[in-house]
Amino acid sequence: MEFIDLAAQQKRIIEKIESNIKSVLNHGKFIMGPEIQNLEENLAKYVGARHAISCASGTDALLMALMAYNIRPGDAVFTTPFTFIATAEVITLLGATPVFVDVDPETFNIDPKKLENSIVRQKNSGTALNPKAVIPVDLFGLLADYESIESIAHEHDLLIIEDGAQSFGAEYKGKKSCSFGSVACTSFFPAKPLGCYGDGGMCFTNDNSIAEILRSVRVHGQGNHKYENIRIGVNGRLDTLQAAILNAKFDIFPDEIERRQKVAKRYSDLLSTSPAFKVPHIPEGYKSAWAQYSVLAANEKQRSILQERLQKANIPTAIYYPKPLHLQKAFADLGYKKGDFPVSEDVASRIFSLPMHPYLTLEDQETIAAVLNQ
């Protein structure tokens, strides 16, 4: 059994993938070829954003978004410690300061009440930090609580950058992932809901001038001319070949999102009665992209027992994320300690993810459930 079965997906669209790759080999425009614009137009339309700016990775998408708004030393950027390192890494990379805010115990996304407290504390603390932005993460494919976050951000004059690396295809009240915030960022890493065959990412925005800056930052801060540089940027382009692959995969993406709903529902039906673990909670009005199907064991020991049992039955599992960012050595300079974010620490000690992809069969899910429900 595969944790994510990319081979099943490839089998379904192999002819289209091969013909799309062949077109690129034929026209030879490996950098910013026509497939790039095609992908950007299609995804912007799908998301409901005015602009889509493809780039080399989800990490670059976040970095470029912060660069476009000139985030710099002295700025505080709020985010959660229960996410992939990239979310906070880009803040530090620009010399700004990540300020961590604990997550909600049900959704694992940033807790809006705690966000507000943290902003107020930052403003009153007398430190020189300037609260500038918040990066909500749509963890495991579930959108953060943007209604609450937007009103808090508005009140305190903060910018919102959506980290939609795990949530492409998700919805809240009909509004799609990557349509929230001033800029939204996603990743096309192979394991994400819409993945390519390497690294890739995209920024989305409705703001014309920010879109123009993002396009400039993507190519070394380019101006009107190839060798005119008007700001410091990065080499952040998406490869034409990856765009060609994404175009083939995007054809079946809406169908895959529906399949993920079905797979998730089957899991919840098969598993929801167990006292040893808790299945994911999707609040009213939300549709998850189900990047992961993550269950919470009763405690850390129970998690090891369940994972071991599954492993013996050749069922792969994974832990996202075993160590919250505030306890990572890379962020030791920020001065956080154990106990600072109790919900993130508790969840990190109990969470684990089951195989999840659009092609998971009922039979496999029944096998998994039988092992877990033992």
Ligand X SMILES: *Cc1c(COP(=O)(O)O)cnc(C)c1O
Interface residues with ligand X (CB under 6 A) are 57-59, 83-84, 86-87, 137, 163, 165-166, 187, 189, 199, 201
Tokens in use for 350? 């109990």
The one-letter amino acid code at 229 reads N
Tokens in use for 224? 């009107």
Which C-beta is closer to ligand X: that of 142 or that of 263?
142
Return d(Cα 321, Cα 125) in angstroms, integer.
Answer: 30
Return d(Cα 267, Cα 272) in angstroms, integer.
Answer: 8
Is 276 exposed, middle or buried (CB count within 10 Å of its CB: 0-12, 13-18, 19+)?
Answer: middle
Which C-beta is closer to ligand X: that of 59 or that of 365?
59
The residue number with the shortest CB distance to ligand X is 58
Min CB(160)–ligand X separation in Å: 15
Min CB(155)–ligand X separation in Å: 26
Min CB(120)–ligand X separation in Å: 26
Which C-beta is closer to ligand X: that of 189 or that of 253?
189
Min CB(167)–ligand X separation in Å: 9
Which C-beta is closer to ligand X: that of 256 or that of 368?
256
Which C-beta is closer to ligand X: that of 33 or that of 193?
193
Residues 6+ apart with CB under 8 A from 79: 87, 88, 91, 98, 99, 100, 101, 110, 134, 135, 136, 137, 163
Min CB(147)–ligand X separation in Å: 21
Closest CA to 370 of 293, 305, 315: 315
Closest CA to 184 of 58, 340, 16, 31: 58
Min CB(204)–ligand X separation in Å: 15
Which C-beta is closer to ligand X: that of 59 or that of 182?
59
